[in-house]
């Protein structure tokens, strides 16, 4: 008979960071193997022993800039749902006031604002789509690069919303032109087409939706929505420096993503803050131009229809489409969702 061999127990190698707790049966085979997780006290001790990088002393300019950014956040992060309601109320009241007082025909200082060729219309309103696209393109690209760890596909997915915004703008412009051309008539009944009517010096009478009211409201709401990724930017600053356990990042993130987030935040933080400030100025400018447009241009029905159309386009995209389908709403990528506490009513 063959000599019986003694059965040697199998021992699995355990990393030094875990505490083995292995039990064996009488025959020597492994019965169970598990690792005891570090206790809460050990986690805090490990965190306390880790060297924390402290921020440099804040200068007067840094403090002033921090206050400015805080004010900008109060403006852009005002709940957009309430802002849309305010737009509806404001356009209706200011347009009714304009129709009652005939402000567009008054003489004096308002005459310049009532002219289509004023400096605000020439420099800003006529190119509103390009101003908005330019600022949002750089802001979305920079923030997406940071939140996605530089993944090109994720950046392009976030930029798709800007393509949708531009498509909505062009589609509504086409709709406004179509309604204006096919719902009107010439002041001289001899001419049936709009082109011939205008070429002969006559007036084309039709219902024209205010395109300026539409894109000023729609662009402002889009800016407010896209700025939400900046909601906890200062929290990220403190967390990336003082959080050695990386609890702000999603659990599946690698050390490469952690190092990338820390380096990219230092490199892009000032640029993103400046872009955020410019977005605030642009949103305030569009609101100011909307007030001027509501007081001095077109009538109540035209501006009210444009306002309803703008709010509807915003609601369909940022309330129904993006939260449920691709390309999704603005998000924070590799970071945990709880660090950006978006208000329940937006």
Residue 25 lies in a domain: no
Instruction: Provide mean pLDDT across the span 107-134.
Output: 79
20 part of a folded domain: no
The parent domain of residue 107 ranges over 80-339
Q: Which percentage of the chain shows pLDDT scores above 90?
A: 47
Residue 50 has pLDDT above 70, yes or no: no
Q: Give the pair of three-digit tokens for residue 214.
A: 């539409």
Task: Kindly tell me if the per-residue pLDDT of 41 is higher than 50.
Answer: yes
pLDDT at position 57 over 90: no
How high is the pLDDT of residue 297?
84
- At 217, is the pLDDT very low, low, confident or very high (cuts 50, 70, 90)? very high
pLDDT bin (cut points 50, 70, 90) of residue 252 is low
Say how many domains are in the chain.
1
- Distance between CA 232 and CA 237 in Å, rounded? 9
Residue 26 in domain: no
State how far the Cα of 138 lies from the Cα of 276, in Å rounded to an integer.
10
Answer whether residue 218 is part of any domain. Answer: yes
Closest CA to 182 of 207, 199, 214, 210: 207
pLDDT, mean of residues 221-243: 84
Outline where DSSP puts E strands in the chain. Answer: 19-24, 30-36, 185-186, 204-205
Residue 30 falls inside a structural domain: no
Residue 268 lies in a domain: yes
pLDDT tens figures, 175-192: 999 998 888 888 877 777
Alpha-helix runs per DSSP H in 21-79: 40-49, 60-76
Would you say residue 18 has pLDDT above 80?
A: no
Percent pLDDT > 70 in the chain is 72
Q: What is the pTM of this model?
A: 0.79
Could you give phi then psi for residue 323, rounded to 5 degrees?
A: -65, -20
In-domain check, residue 44: no
Least confident window among 24-33, 242-251, 325-334:
24-33
Does residue 49 fall inside a structural domain?
Answer: no
């Amino acid at each position: 008979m063959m000599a019986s061999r003694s059965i040697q127990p199998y021992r699995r190698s355990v990393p030094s960071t875990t505490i083995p707790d292995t039990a064996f049966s009488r025959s020597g085979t492994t019965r169970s193997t598990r690792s005891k997780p570090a206790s809460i006290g050990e986690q805090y001790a490990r965190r306390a022993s880790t060297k924390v990088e402290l921020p440099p002393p804040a200068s007067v300019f840094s403090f002033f800039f921090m206050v400015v950014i805080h004010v900008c956040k109060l403006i852009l992060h005002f709940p957009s749902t309430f802002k849309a309601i305010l737009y509806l109320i404001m356009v209706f009241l200011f347009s009714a006031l304009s129709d009652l007082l005939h402000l567009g025909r008054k003489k004096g200082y308002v005459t310049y604002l009532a002219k289509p060729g004023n400096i605000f219309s020439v420099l800003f309103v006529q190119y509103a789509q390009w101003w908005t696209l330019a600022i949002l393109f750089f802001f979305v690209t920079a923030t997406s690069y940071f939140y996605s760890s530089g993944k090109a596909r994720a950046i392009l997915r976030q930029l798709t919303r800007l393509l949708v915004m531009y498509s909505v703008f062009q589609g509504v412009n086409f709709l406004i032109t179509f309604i204006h051309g096919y719902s009107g008539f010439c002041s001289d009944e001899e001419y049936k087409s709009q082109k011939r009517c205008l070429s002969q010096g006559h007036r084309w009478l039709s219902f024209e939706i205010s395109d300026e009211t539409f894109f000023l409201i729609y662009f402002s709401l889009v800016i407010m929505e896209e700025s939400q990724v900046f909601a906890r930017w200062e929290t990220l600053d403190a967390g990336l420096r003082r959080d050695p356990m990386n609890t702000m990042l999603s659990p599946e993130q690698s050390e490469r993503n952690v190092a990338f987030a820390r380096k990219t935040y230092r490199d892009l933080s000032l640029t993103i803050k400046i872009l955020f400030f410019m977005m605030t100025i642009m949103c305030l400018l569009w609101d100011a131009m909307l007030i001027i447009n509501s007081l001095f241009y077109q009538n109540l029905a035209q501006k009210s229809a444009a306002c309803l159309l703008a709010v509807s386009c915003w609601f369909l995209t940022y309330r129904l489409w993006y939260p449920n389908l691709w390309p999704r709403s603005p998000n924070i990528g590799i970071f945990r969702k709880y660090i950006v506490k978006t208000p329940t009513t937006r």
